[in-house]
Chain A
Amino acid sequence: MASLLNDQRPPVFCPGCSHERITHILDKVFQNMGLNGNQIVIVSDIGCSGLFDTFFHTHALHGLHGRALTYAAGLKMARPDLNVVVTMGDGGQGIGGAHLLAACRRNLDLTLLILNNFNFGMTGGQFSATTPQEAQIGSGFLNQLERPLDICQIARMAGAPYATRCSAFRKDLVKEIQRAIEFEGFSVIDIWGVCPGRFTKKNRLTPQLIDAALAKLSPQEGIVSENVRKEYGRHYRELAAGQKIAPTPLKIEAKFNPPQPNRQEVMLLGSAGQRIITAGEIVCLAGLSAGLHATQKNEYNITVLRGPSISELILSPEKIDFTGIKQPSVIVALAQEGVDRRRELFVNLDDDTIVLQINGVNIPPTKAFIHRVNLQTQGIRKSDWALASVAILAKLKRVISLEMLQSALEIKFKEKTLVDSLILVSEVKIN
């Protein structure tokens, strides 16, 4: 195969820079693999390693610092047939650390070449995530304070099934990069090289010294057997193929007449765990079965199963503009937390409003009509209180009717849940 190097744009690295070596090595890899430029995407990061895409006649995506792996993931999921090669420096491992970890865990078939030269070359030799603590660099003494990280160790711990730590001067680097690209899964090569433009101005680093430093670490070469598993994209497509088409929203025909002809506002004031939101939805569905427009606005704390849970419902023969509650026709006081959250509401009520006060809940003084119910003595579980209250409303012919409620339950529930809820509705007593 012909070289994919762009003869209009030869490499522009400082003399002696390892990046230049790797540029030619990568070109050999592509040639050996018999790849055309349109079968490859080079996704390059920022810094001197970010120039890579411009030297090749391949697809190219050059983006923001540290984010190369994110674009690569989107590309590979969209086009699994492409060979996606990501070039990043050691700088990118710091700013893009979260993406490196995630790429290792995800195991999408990408090849990450880390052109590790232990400093930020382009910006003046500042320290990076891999700078040795004893190095003289462009960040004063700051690198003495931070421990460099070993990318391969991290990749391994994070689940990369292929990780190699090696020198840019390694004789068979062509073969090693080819192996990494051909590996089906996420592969990382941490390639240690020299940056004569910056790093080696003040620090001695030669191919021999790189070899000596590498020899001190426990070697990491190629497949990490304990991490070998299904490639993410392949696995994704397998699992996605088994997903069922989501149903379209149910269309509800108007078949009943509502008990009141005008806009009705309902507040369910309860607590988490009382299934307030479900009960609210049922009221809305009941409204739809009478041809009414409906809105449901919920309020709850971010905490799950704790604190107030409030549902504000509006049913109206006209389209609903303002979704806030102005003059509730019904307030259901189901739990103290909910009532306390809306205490101010009770002050301005008149006797057009009915307050359904469930046993044990205290309400502020109000002129509203109060209807007390004890659900506990009726033996109803707390998680059913909201639904039971809605059933009481239907029995009192307020806001919804029993037939509206039954039809809503038939829409919302199936099988045993439906049977149980219909029994609950028929058995609940209004006081």
Chain B
Amino acid sequence: MSLSLLEGNEAIARGAVAAGCRFFAGYPITPATTIYNSMLNLLPPLGGIVLQGEDEIASIGFCLGASMAGFKVMTATSGPGISLFSEHISFAIGSEIPIVIVDVQRLGPSTGSATRGADGDINFIRWGNSGGLPVIALAPVDVKDCFTLTMHAFNLAEKLRCPVFIASNKEIGMIRESIDLDALEKPEIIDRSPAPAGKPHLPFQVTEGQSVPDFLPIGANVPVRQTSSTHSQNGYITTDHEEIAIILDRLKTKLESAIDQFSFYDLIKTEKAETLIITYGVTARAAKAAYKELKEQTHPVSVLILKTLWPVPETIIRQTAQSCKQVVVVEMNLGQYVKEIQRILPNMHIDFLGQMNGQLITPRQIMEKIANG
């Protein structure tokens, strides 16, 4: 076995390139800048395009334009930038434009602390769009996840034609870590489904059994329309409330009904454990360390590490929690995802451990929470 030393952010860039990403636009922001740097090293020699926008709004706007021309696109930022992305996140959702958006989270609110970690944008990622429709968000735990989940993110964005977020964290993105590159999981690459030739193209039409419209790029042989306005299947603005309802409902169900196909998680299961830790992101590493220490003691625990955060992978959460008496949700904010767990497990006793001070939650804190509730 040989090991390499890789930064989480660089692994995201390499995962993107492996997934077929050939367009990246970004704006410098700590702690996401090294994704931009890495893409600048990787893409131009491959014939790909890397642009620096005049701001984050422009960066993601470039990406949306290039995605509509058929490119697999990615942008990366942190809290202040994800805030500026908001209007374009809504555009990508409503107009079904595939894009991968990396949020290397830092301590907020606002400009906060550029070099301190946090998972404070988890709800912003889900709800920071006008219209409130669902998005997909994947959360890496380590450098290996940064690579593999980014590949999955592209596959999901292309297949479901939607924005897919990588909810990273300064404590993952800017950490260098040993990785066995030969053992990396590389999912098969999925491309957006092309519209069949020879048929008139309606850009938002779905046929029986389809939940995602076929794609033709702007620049195809026949004119292709894209619009951020409420549209009918022909891509023109419409006031037909029945058709509007059908399309908007489809935007919701195309993601929510497919969640079981992309519920990524790690489950460390201990037989007869009465306590289940539910966590995600860098905090999962502290939970794993706590699990190992507790294994040798009298209070064994199971750990569910969610790597798909949005839509909420409800099935796996319910199934796992079933046999437990105590659920402890641990996250690097003051209580965001725990609300989802409370919603899904209304009859369970749920303890919460959160922290927002720029420091990692430690295994000791988790063990104390388990002991004291």
Q: Which residues of A contact B (CB under 8 A)?
A: 9, 37-38, 41, 43, 53-54, 57-64, 67, 70-79, 81-82, 98-99, 101-102, 236, 239-240, 243-246, 248-254, 281, 284-285, 287-288, 291-302, 320-324, 326
Verify B285–A323 contact, CB threshold 8 A: yes
Among B42, B51, B235, contact of A73 (Cβ-Cβ < 8 Å): B51
Is B98's CB within 8 Å of the partner chain A?
no
The docked-state distance in angstroms from the alpha carbon of A57 to that of B235 is 12
- Say how far A233's CB is from chain B's closest CB, in angstroms: 9
Is B3's CB within 8 Å of the partner chain A?
yes
Verify B175–A295 contact, CB threshold 8 A: yes
Contacts of B91 in A (CB 8 A): 63-64
The docked-state distance in angstroms from the alpha carbon of A73 to that of B91 is 17
- Say how far B324's CB is from chain A's closest CB, in angstroms: 21
Task: State the main secondary structure of chain A at its contact with B.
Answer: mixed
- Per-residue A-contact encoding for B181-222, CB less than 8 Å = 1, 0 else: 110000000000000000000000000000000000111111
The 8 closest A-B pairs by CB, nearest first: A74-B65, A70-B61, A78-B69, A71-B65, A102-B54, A240-B44, A74-B62, A74-B66
Is B55's CB within 8 Å of the partner chain A?
yes
* Residue on B nearest A280 in the bound complex, by CB: B176
Contacts of B69 in A (CB 8 A): 74-75, 78-79
Q: Which of B223-231, B244-252, B310-318 contacts A (4 or more CB under 8 A)?
A: B223-231
Is B258's CB within 8 Å of the partner chain A?
no
Verify B219–A82 contact, CB threshold 8 A: yes
* B33-71 interface with A by 8 A CB criterion: 41-42, 44-47, 49, 51, 53-55, 57-58, 60-71
* Residue on B nearest A247 in the bound complex, by CB: B41
Verify A38–B25 contact, CB threshold 8 A: no
Among B45, B73, B218, contact of A245 (Cβ-Cβ < 8 Å): B45
For B4, B30, B46, B70, the residue with the greatest tally of chain A CB atoms inside 10 Å of its CB is B4
Verify A101–B115 contact, CB threshold 8 A: no
* Residue on B nearest A287 in the bound complex, by CB: B178
Among B42, B47, B65, B360, contact of A324 (Cβ-Cβ < 8 Å): B360
Contacts of B63 in A (CB 8 A): 74
Is B119's CB within 8 Å of the partner chain A?
no
Contacts of B65 in A (CB 8 A): 43, 61, 70-76, 78
Verify A295–B176 contact, CB threshold 8 A: yes
* Residue on A nearest B228 in the bound complex, by CB: A63
Verify A300–B115 contact, CB threshold 8 A: yes
Among B178, B218, B228, B235, contact of A64 (Cβ-Cβ < 8 Å): B228
- Say how far A192's CB is from chain B's closest CB, in angstroms: 27
Contacts of A293 in B (CB 8 A): 3, 177-178
The docked-state distance in angstroms from the alpha carbon of A342 to that of B2 is 34
Q: Which of B131-139, B148-156, B286-294 contacts A (4 or more CB under 8 A)?
A: B286-294
